[in-house]
Amino acid sequence: MKNYNLDETHIYRFDPKERQIALETEDVHVWYGDNEAIKGVSLQFEKNKITSLIGPSGCGKSTYLRSLNRMNDEIDNTRVTGKIIYANTDINSSAIDVYEMRKHIGMVFQRPNPFSKSIYENITFALKQHGMKDKNQLDEIVETSLKQAALWDQVKDELNKSALALSGGQQQRLCIARAIAMKPDILLLDEPASALDPISTSKVEETLINLKENYTIAIVTHNMQQASRISDYTAFFYMGKVMEYDKTRKIFTRPKIQSTEDYVSGHFG
């Protein structure tokens, strides 16, 4: 294993006058008990763009992603410090209504995890929990979300069918539809295509590219081609830090840091 200089980093910063920042973290640290998994990450996520989080296994990508909508709160013995700024508010503050915040910052997990309910109910379940009762309104959201997730044409005649009868790729697009039904601003995805075959993967990628018109997306991926195909920005994580953050094109063609270059060219370690 090469000895990479962990102090040599390159973090691209936006000028907020030129680019709209949808979400920003300042010096975020995450501990699992005594293990400091994230060691001071400050990143900006540009509105209506896709940002990929890449890096070797165990470097903290998922931990960082989960901190962006406080999913680490659900894990015992976890501590998160630093600021996570969304809409001029630090959502890492104890005063935040986490349930409410997650309506704005939604998440899709690695394995498709539809509820054991119909396709229709998968999308309407959380909306009903939030008090929405109007059938026409619910129908409309089901249709719009499934269209945005590029699944409507395949399922529109069988909305009462069990979601578990869909293929893996369709289930994952249903999970994306379920997340966007809440009309979040930001969509966090943790390796959403890793359990899918290449055709389903390319459908999910197409879906994400179309979604960025309306959403800001952060995605953890192990797939370098995927990061370079779909994302506008890429952050390279290593040992709980971001070593390099820049436009995706730069990360993959002219990285500034040796560890990034080795990682993206497959010569890491």
Residues that bind ligand ATP (CB under 6 A): 32, 35, 37, 55, 57-63, 75
Nearer to ligand ATP, 39 or 212 (CB): 39
Token readout for 187 is: 């969509």
Please state the closest distance from residue 109 (CB atom) to ligand ATP, in A.
Answer: 12
The rounded distance, in Å, linking the Cα atoms of 97 and 227 is 32
Nearer to ligand ATP, 24 or 36 (CB): 36
Please state the closest distance from residue 62 (CB atom) to ligand ATP, in A.
Answer: 3
Please state the closest distance from residue 260 (CB atom) to ligand ATP, in A.
Answer: 15
Token readout for 257 is: 């840091």
Please state the closest distance from residue 188 (CB atom) to ligand ATP, in A.
Answer: 13
Nearer to ligand ATP, 61 or 141 (CB): 61
Nearer to ligand ATP, 57 or 116 (CB): 57
The dihedrals phi and psi of 82, each to the nearest 5 degrees, come to 105, 175
Nearer to ligand ATP, 37 or 187 (CB): 37
The rounded distance, in Å, linking the Cα atoms of 130 and 120 is 16
Tally the residues of the chain: 269
In this structure, are residues 38 and 21 in contact, taking their beta carbons and an 8 Å threshold?
A: no
Nearer to ligand ATP, 48 or 78 (CB): 78
259 alpha-carbon distance from chain centroid:
23
Using DSSP's 3-state secondary structure scheme, residue 62 falls into helix
Say which residue the tokens 């991926």 belong to.
Answer: 221
The rounded distance, in Å, linking the Cα atoms of 197 and 74 is 30
The rounded distance, in Å, linking the Cα atoms of 33 and 57 is 20
Nearer to ligand ATP, 42 or 48 (CB): 42
The dihedrals phi and psi of 57, each to the nearest 5 degrees, come to -55, 135
Give 14's contacts (C-beta < 8 A, 6+ positions apart). Answer: 21, 44, 46
Please state the closest distance from residue 50 (CB atom) to ligand ATP, in A.
Answer: 18
Please state the closest distance from residue 60 (CB atom) to ligand ATP, in A.
Answer: 4
Please state the closest distance from residue 74 (CB atom) to ligand ATP, in A.
Answer: 9
